[in-house]
Homo-oligomer: A and B are copies of this chain.
């Protein structure tokens, strides 16, 4: 379900070819770059989840790219695996110093590479802090993925949870259905815009318990979309 993007930075076609094949079998999506400049552009545009970086590259060594990545705050968390020839294992030390997370010497067994990629992704992906959001009695716990109304846990589906989480992190602001689809469903998913309405309804229903009714936190902004607000609606 969670497709991972791997950026391959290597100037040898044969290597890229081999890597692409191995990675696609293991269900990764591949991006490729032959030089540092392309690599950097791709990183900024496509935001890959991991980078396989060859050491010797035209237009600057891999070390240079590595330094640049680790200096830039927006890409700091991007894990990097270095590819290096056996004869140049000294470079490894430099690389690990600068911030590569792992390395592998060419030639290598595809299975090993895959294993290392997966291990690295698991190791580095757990860093996201989940917050605890609260509006009066309504509490959303990101960590446990639960919502409480006072003491009682509320029952809702995953999509409704994501929707509520988004709303509670961006309150007092109207979003179009299209924007909600982008943020909650993901940018490259195509579903009907009216689907949002249905999930809004399900969320509203979930925000009602025998005791309380918080369903009007989700307000309709006619002609535009929806808004989450703890203050009154103030339209119509």
* Chain A residues in the interface with B (C-beta under 8 A): 86, 89-90, 92-93, 96-97, 105, 108-109, 111-112, 115-116, 118-119, 122-123, 125-126, 141, 143-148, 152-158, 172-174, 178-179, 181-182, 187-188, 190, 221-224, 227, 229, 231-236
Contact = CB atoms under 8 A, between A and B. Distances in A.
Contacts of A116: 96
A119 to B, nearest CB: 5
20 contacts: A89-B112, A92-B109, A93-B109, A93-B112, A96-B112, A96-B115, A96-B119, A115-B188, A119-B188, A119-B190, A122-B179, A122-B181, A125-B178, A143-B172, A144-B227, A145-B227, A146-B174, A146-B235, A153-B233, A153-B234
Contacts of A96: 112, 115-116, 119
Main SS class of interface, A: mixed
A1 to B, nearest CB: 9
Counting chain B CB atoms within 10 Å of each CB, the highest count among A145, A181, A229 belongs to A145
